[in-house]
Structure 1
C-alpha cells in the first residue's frame, strides 16, 4: 500500500509507547516523529509542518489525572488552532477524555490500543488537517502561477479549485467552460503544476488562432518534403509536449472535419507527422477550454457528440467575475501592486469608494478586463489616490470628445439597455422613446 503524505507527531514519556506507535504508523504515513518531553512540543511545531498530534494525557509521575495532557493540548491549540490532536489515555480517564473532545480534541485512544482503531483515527485526523489547510489557504490568495495570480473568497470558485486539486493527480481529460477572461488558462496551468507531470512541458495551443491549412502541420508536425515549404523535419506542438500537458484552448472553434482528426488522436494516443506513415506513441495529459455552449453546438451538429464526451471526463464551469464580486478587491489589489511597480508609482492607493465602484460594474470582460482597467488607471493617474478609468467612462469620454450626434445616440442607447438589463420597455421609457422607435435605432446601430 502506498503511504499517505503526512507528518504525525507522537508525544509520550514512555519509550515503549513511542516505539510501538511509530513502527505501526510508519507503515501508513511518510513521516512519524516522536517526543518524550512535552516542553519541546511548541518549538517542534514552530519548526516543522505537522498534520496530526498524538498526545499522552499524563507526563509527571504521581500525577495521573490527565491535567498535563489538557494543558499541553491548549498550548498546542494556541499555536495551531486547526491542528487535530488525538489524546492517548488509560481506561480510568475516559470521562476526562470525553470532556476534552468538547474542548477541541479530535479523538482519544485507549491504552493499550487496537492498531486498526489507531490507524483509522489518525488517518481521519490527517484528512481533516488537510481540509483545514486548504480552507485557510483559500481565504487569502488561493493560487499563483508564473503568469498570473487569482485570489478567491467565493464559495463557487473554491469548489472549482477543490475539484482541480482532486483531478490533478489523474490523467483524466478536463474541460474548462466559462466566458472569456475568467482565468481558464490560469486554472489549466495550475492543474498542470499540481500534477505529477509538473516537471514536463505545459503547451498552450489556441485553436481559434490556427488557420485550417496550418492545423495539421502545427499540431502534428511534418516530414521534410511533405509540402512545398517543408524544408526539414518538424515536430508539432503536441509532440513537443511529450510526457507533459497539452492545453487546447477555444476547442469550440474547431471545424467539424478537423474535429475527427483530433478525436482520433485523443482516443488512440498516437500521431503521425504529415508525409510520414510512422506512428508515434503519445504520452500527454489533455485539458480543453471554451466559452462556447458545447451541448448546444452538439445539438446543432456543429460539434461532434463523440468528441464532446471524450473531452469532458471532468467538466468544470469557471464562474464569471460578476458572480464572485467578493474577489474583486483582492484581484484589484494584486493588479494595482503589479502596475505600481511596473510604472514606478508606489504611492497610488485604492480606497473603499473606488472598490465599491469596481464592485458595481458588471465586468463583461471578466478578470482580463479588470486587469486592463487597473493598468490604464495607473498609467493615467497623477495624484497619490488612484483615479479609476472605468470602461464605461472611457467610452463616454470618447463619445464626448467626438461630439458626434450619432455616436452620442448610440452611447445613450447602450447605456440605457445596460442599466435596465436589456428590458426594452424600461430602456425606451428612460430614453423618452416608444418601443418601436428604440427597436429601429437598435437595428440601425446593430445592437
Structure 2
C-alpha cells in the first residue's frame, strides 16, 4: 500500500501514546509529527502544512475534565478553521468528546484505541482537509481571475512583472530562477492567472519533496500491476493537469533518467504511464523553477543540456529581497494586514522604528522569512503593540550556553514580566500559559 502524502500531527503528553500512534500511522501517511506540549501546537501549525491533528483531551495530572483538550481544539480552530481535529479520550469522557464534536472536532477516538479505527478516522480527516482546501480555492478563484495584481517599487521587479505580463498569454515554457523564498511560486501562479488557462488546474509539483523512487510514479502515473504496490490504475500529477498549468518546482532535483522522459513529454506532448505502451495526448503549459545554477549542472553532466534549452524559452531571474529593499515596507505591510485580520488584532501597526529594523536585516530567507517573521510577531504580540520578533534577536537567544530547562524558564518569565510591566495576564498570554500556571511558576522561582 502506497503511503498517502499527508502530514499528521499528534499531541499528547504521554510519550508511549505518541510512540505507538506514530509507528502505526507512519505506515499509511508520509509524515507524522508528535508534540508532548500543547502550548507548542499553534506555532507548529503556523510553520508546517498540517492535514489533520490528533489531540488528547487531558494534559495535566489530576485534572482529567477534558477541558484542556477543548481549549486547545478551540485555539487550533481559531487559527485554522478548516483543519480537522480528532480528539482522543478515555471511555468515561465520551459525553465530553461528543461536546467536542458539537464544537468542531471531526471525530473522537477512545483510549486504548483500535488501530483500524484510528487509521480510518485520520484518513477520513485528511480527505476532508483536502476537500475543504479545494472548496476554499474555488471560492477565491473569481476574486483572482482577471485581476491578479502584483506590486513592486523596485525597478528590477517592475521589469520582471512587465516581462511576465507579456509572456503569460502565450504557451511558452518559463524558467524561474532565484534563491529560496524569493516568490517563484507566486510568480508562477501569476503567469497562470494571466493566461487563457486561468480557469483550468494549476498544479504545483515540488520535486524536492518527492522521494527519488516515487518520482516517475507521481509525475507520470502507472498501470495496475506495473509494480508490487500498483493495485489500481493511477493518473500522475502531470496527466491530472490536462488543459492547465504544471509548475515543476526545484527542477534541478530531477534524476537524469527522468530528465529524458520529461524532455520527450515536452517535445511530443504525449505521456505514457509506467507499465503501459499506450500514449496519451497532453495539453498543458509548463513553468519550471530552481534555486540551482543549471548551467553549472549541465557542465557537470547532472542536467541534460537539451532539456535546459527546452525549458528556458523565457528565463526570469528573480532578485533576492536584499536586492529590492524598496519593497520591504510594501511586503511587510501586506503581511501585517493579512495576519491582523487572521488573528483578530486590528490595532497593530508598523512604526518607523520597526520598518528601520526590517530594512537593516539582510533576509537570507527572503520574502518567505519576512512573511514568517511578521506572522510570528502578530501571534505573540498583544492587541495594541506590535512586538517585532526579528530573526537576529532569535539568533542571539540561540547562542545561550546554559541549557538547563528550569533556568531558561525563569529567564523567559522574567523577560515576559518586564516586557509587560508586571501585567500577569499579558505575560501569561505571551508565554502560552494560563494565569494560574504563571502564578505557580512565579511562586516556584520566588518572583
Alignment of 1:69-108 (within 5 A): none
Q: Is the 8 A contact 2:145 2:198 kept in 1?
A: no
The 1:382–1:145 alpha-carbon spacing in structure 2 relative to 1, beyond 3 Å, is farther
Distance 1:145 1:198 in 2: 7
- 2:155 alignment counterpart: 155
- 1:310 alignment counterpart: 310
- Pairing 1:275–2:275 present: yes
- 2:286 alignment counterpart: 286
Distance 1:265 1:359 in 2: 45
Q: Secondary structure at the match of 1:402?
A: coil
Cα deviation for residue 337 of structure 1 reads 1.2
Query: What per-residue deviation string (whole Å, max 9, x for no partner) do you get for residues 55-91 of structure 1?
Result: xxxxxxxxxxxxxxxxxxxxxxxxxxxxxxxxxxxxx
- 1:336 alignment counterpart: 336
Q: Is the 8 A contact 1:165 1:194 kept in 2?
A: yes
Distance 1:402 1:198 in 2: 54
- Bigger radius of gyration among the two: 1
Alignment of 1:21-420 (within 5 A): 151-382=151-382, 384-400=384-400, 402=402
Distance 2:178 2:161 in 1: 14
Distance 1:363 1:149 in 2: 24
Q: Is the 8 A contact 1:350 1:385 kept in 2?
A: no
Cα deviation for residue 374 of structure 1 reads 0.5
Q: Secondary structure at the match of 2:344?
A: coil
Kindly tell me the number of residue pairs found equivalent between the two proteins: 261
The 1:199–1:149 alpha-carbon spacing in structure 2 relative to 1, beyond 3 Å, is closer
Distance 1:362 1:145 in 2: 34
Q: Is the 8 A contact 2:272 2:278 kept in 1?
A: yes
- 1:96 alignment counterpart: none
Q: Is the 8 A contact 1:171 1:285 kept in 2?
A: yes
Distance 1:315 1:394 in 2: 36
Q: Is the 8 A contact 1:151 1:331 kept in 2?
A: no
Q: Is the 8 A contact 2:345 2:383 kept in 1?
A: no
Q: Is the 8 A contact 1:201 1:241 kept in 2?
A: yes
Q: Secondary structure at the match of 2:287?
A: strand
Q: Is the 8 A contact 2:381 2:387 kept in 1?
A: yes
Cα deviation for residue 151 of structure 1 reads 3.2
Distance 1:232 1:307 in 2: 32
- 1:58 alignment counterpart: none
Distance 1:321 1:388 in 2: 19
Cα deviation for residue 397 of structure 1 reads 1.7
Cα deviation for residue 212 of structure 1 reads 1.9
Cα deviation for residue 164 of structure 1 reads 0.6
Q: Is the 8 A contact 1:248 1:288 kept in 2?
A: yes
Q: What is the TM-score with the length of structure 2 in the denominator?
A: 0.56
Distance 2:295 2:327 in 1: 29
Distance 2:178 2:144 in 1: 20
Distance 1:308 1:149 in 2: 30
Cα deviation for residue 401 of structure 1 reads 6.9
Q: Is the 8 A contact 1:374 1:388 kept in 2?
A: yes
Q: Secondary structure at the match of 1:176?
A: strand
Distance 2:170 2:323 in 1: 29
Give the gaps of 5 or more residues in structure 2.
1-142, 405-447
Q: Is the 8 A contact 2:150 2:161 kept in 1?
A: no
Query: What per-residue deviation string (whole Å, max 9, x for no partner) do you get for residues 356-408 of structure 1?
Result: 1101111010000000001111122236231111101011123237369xxxx
Distance 1:198 1:384 in 2: 40
Distance 2:266 2:256 in 1: 15
Give the gaps of 5 or more residues in structure 1.
1-142, 405-447
Distance 2:226 2:170 in 1: 37
Q: What is the TM-score with the length of structure 1 in the denominator?
A: 0.56
The 1:197–1:383 alpha-carbon spacing in structure 2 relative to 1, beyond 3 Å, is closer
Distance 1:237 1:281 in 2: 15
Q: Secondary structure at the match of 1:372?
A: helix
The 1:342–1:355 alpha-carbon spacing in structure 2 relative to 1, beyond 3 Å, is same
Distance 2:210 2:258 in 1: 11
Distance 1:351 1:171 in 2: 44
